[in-house]
Amino acid sequence: MHRVPLFKPRRSDARMLTSLMMLAAEANSVVALRMMKLMRGGNGARSEAERMVREKIDASLEATTSLVAGASGERIVRRYRKRVAANAKRLSRLSSNRSQKRKDAASIAGKSESTMRGWCDEHGLGRRIGGGTWSVSKVALAMFLDGDMKALRAYHAGDRTGELVAAYFRRAGIAP
C-alpha cells in the first residue's frame, strides 16, 4: 500500500526555518549586549530600556500591518533580522577611546594575536559580534596584565565607580 505523506516540506519552508533559526541566534546576541548595557546603569541604561520597549512596540505594529497587507512570513522575518542586525551593530561598538583592535592589544601585551584572542575568550577582555573584528577593552586588558583578577571580576560584574575599578579608568584617561 502506498502511503501519502501528510506534509512534504517545500524548499521555501526550509529557507524560512533557516531564517527563523538565524533570527533567534542573532536576537540572542542582542539580548546579551543589551543586558551588559543595562547592567552598567545610569542614563545610558535608562535610554536603552526605553528604546527597547519602543522598538518592540514599533516592530510588532509593523509586522501586524505587513501581515494584514499580505506580506509573506519570509518578508516579515527578513525585516526583523534587519532590525536585529542594526541593534547588534549599534550595541557592539565599544567607545573608540575605551577599546583597541586585537592587533594593538597584542602588541601592548607583547603576545601574538592568537594568544590575545584566547585571552579575550577566556577572560572576557573584549568582544566580537557577528564575525566582525575584535574590540579589546583597554581597562580590562590593563587589569589582566596587572594580574588584578579581583578588579577584572568587579569590572565584569558592572562596577565602574568602585575605587578598585575606577583607578584603572583614571589610569587609562577614560571616564567610567
- d(CA 88, CA 93) in angstroms, rounded, equals 9
- CA angle at 158 for the pair 92 and 123, rounded to the nearest 5°: 70
- Quick one: pLDDT at residue 33? 84
pLDDT band at 139 (very low <50, low <70, confident <90, very high): very high
- How does pLDDT run across 37-93, given as a tens digit for each residue? 888 777 778 888 999 999 999 999 999 999 999 998 889 999 999 999 888 877 776
Q: Write the burial class of residue 62 (CB in 10 Å: 0-12 exposed, 13-18 middle, 19+ buried).
A: middle
Closest CA to 80 of 62, 67, 68: 62
What mean pLDDT value characterizes the chain? 86
- Quick one: pLDDT at residue 29? 87
CB 113 within 8 A of CB 134: no
- Quick one: pLDDT at residue 93? 63
- Quick one: pLDDT at residue 110? 95
- How does pLDDT run across 14-39, given as a tens digit for each residue? 788 888 999 999 899 889 888 888 88
- Quick one: pLDDT at residue 175? 78
Domain ranges of the chain: 11-92, 99-172
pTM value is 0.53
**Is 3.40.50 the CATH number for 99-172?**
no
